[in-house]
Amino acid sequence: MSLDDCRILDLPKISDSRGNLTFIESVRHIPFDIKRVYYLYDVPGGSERGAHAHKNLHQFIVSMSGSFDVVLDDGNRQQRYHLNRSYQGLYVCPMMWRYLDNFSSGAVCMVLASEYYDENDYHRGYDEFIADVKRA
Ligand code: TYD
């Protein structure tokens, strides 16, 4: 798994005079089955979230409102993505160190995840993450 496996995906967008509608279907629009949804909101300006990696989890991150940045690091390269559109999201494959910052006021970050919450799936320390990348 590398940064090349992660990308911004466009979602369907149905627009008419009443507003926009976007939908996400498991496997059809994102490359995994959705088992869990969580969201970050009321994030104080200047806060940073994340700063961990997941061993097996696939995730899809959408800005439902406002904007924020996601920085991905595969152990060799880093890339910063700015998310500010509800009809796009960032697919994050397993074994990506990530952190989120630059939250605008009112930002809502929705994350779709391929597994239930499992603390054992986390690398909470960067050094431990790098050691696992090197083992692979
Ligand atoms: P964490 O993933 O560490 O969030 P962040 O990296 O953005 O700070 O989760 C924060 C806390 O919430 C942690 O105690 C675990 C808990 N949590 C759940 O119980 N279920 C979940 O689905 C998630 C994502 C977190």
* pLDDT at residue 56, rounded to an integer: 98
Å from CA of 64 to ligand 1 middle:
19
Residue 99 tokens read as 């952190």
User: What is the rounded average pLDDT for all residues in the chain?
Assistant: 97
Q: Is the CB of 54 under 6 A from ligand 1?
A: no
pLDDT of amino acid 89: 98
Residue 88 · residue 11 · CB < 8 Å:
yes
- Which two three-digit tokens encode residue 48? 């940073």
**Start-to-end C-alpha separation, the chain:** 10
pLDDT band for position 128 (cuts 50, 70, 90)? very high
The verdict on the CB of residue 117 being under 6 Å from ligand 1 is yes
Span 54-103, pLDDT tens digits = 999 999 999 999 999 999 999 999 999 999 999 999 999 999 999 999 99
Task: Give tens-digit pLDDT for 17-37.
Answer: 999 999 999 999 999 999 999
How far away, in angstroms, is 52 Cα from ligand 1 center? 11
CA distance 51 to 18: 39
Task: Supply the pLDDT for residue 133.
Answer: 96
Report residue 136's pLDDT band, with 50, 70 and 90 as the boundaries.
confident
Amino acid 73: pLDDT: 98
Helices (H), the chain: 126-135
Strands (DSSP E) found in 1-136: 7-10, 13-16, 19-22, 36-40, 49-54, 59-65, 68-73, 78-83, 88-92, 97-101, 108-113, 122-123
The pLDDT value given to residue 40: 98
Strand partners, 9: 89
In a 3-state reduction of DSSP, which class is residue 66? coil
Residue 92: CB atoms within 10 A of its CB come to 25
